[in-house]
Structures are given as C-alpha cells and as structure tokens.
Amino acid sequence: MIEALAVSAMAALAPYLGKAAEGFAGKFGEKFADKVGSLYKAVKKAFTGDAYAEQTLARAEADPSPNNQSTLKTILTEKLQKDPELQKLLEQLLNEARAVDSNNVIAIGERSVAIGGDNSGVIITGGDTHAPNK
C-alpha cells in the first residue's frame, strides 16, 4: 500500500519536475497543476531537515531522469512508512488531483490499472512476473 502510494505520487510529480514544470499548467490544466503543486510542497516539506532527501529532490528537479526519480521514490516510500500523517495527506492530495482532472488518469493503489477515455474491445494488462506454484 505504501509503495503504491509513493508510485502514484511520483507518477503525478514526474512531469512537474525539472524544466517540464514550466509548461505543466498549460499541458495538464490549471486545477490539476495546483493540486500537483500542493503535492510537491507536501513532499518537499516532508524532506526538509533530511540532507540526503533534500539533495535527492534537488537532483530530481535538476535532472528528472528515471534513475533520480527512482531514488526519490525510494526515499518517499521510507518517509511514508514512518509518517502516517504524511500518508493521509498524500492520499488526500492525490484524490483531489484525480477529482479535478478530466484529461489525465492517475492509478492509485497496489496493482491498479488506469484507463482513460473511451476504451472498448480487448484490453491487455500486465500481470505478475512470477511463475505460479504447481
């Protein structure tokens, strides 16, 4: 559950990091951008006082590469495990972002699948990569 929350938060934040943030509101909508901005501020506040977390966030802002985002997600997961109030806040902010967003889809929760728009026909999703026990 906690890792899924961190993944969902990173999915929302990823386009907000780096130079991509400059055109975020125009690309994703003003209301959604405001909610993601609140999410970003909550994460930044949670990282305040932890030098490694602050540096990791700064690196992800300067270079939002998959590697930097992965490290950021790992630290966010650790913070969420230690802080139930942060968990509640991020869940609330993600739900609010999802509620105001009519153009994008955010999948929240373990093994969740996000489908937006008008989908019909066969839809294939990924599954476990583990072989079943025989």
Is there a domain that residue 63 lies in?
A: yes
User: How many structural domains is the chain composed of?
Assistant: 1
In terms of residues, how long is the chain?
Answer: 134
pLDDT digit string (tens) for 7-47?
888 888 887 787 655 666 566 677 877 888 899 999 999 99
Give the closest residue to 36 by CA, choosing from 85, 95, 119, 114: 95
Domain that holds residue 7: 2-100
116: in domain: no
pTM higher than 0.75: no
| The predicted structure's pLDDT at residue 111 | 57
Please indicate, yes or no, if residue 123 is contained in any of the structural domains: no
Residue 117 within any structural domain of the chain: no
Q: What would the mean pLDDT of 61-68 be, rounded to a whole number?
A: 90
| Per-residue tokens: 133 | 């026990």
Position 119 in a domain: no
What is the C-alpha separation between 11 and 26, in angstroms, rounded?
Answer: 18
Domain assignment of residue 92, yes or no: yes
Within a domain: 38 = yes
pLDDT of residue 58: 93
User: Tens digits of per-residue pLDDT, 76-132?
Assistant: 999 999 999 999 999 999 988 888 765 555 555 555 555 555 555 555 555 555 555
Structure tokens at 107: 């999948």
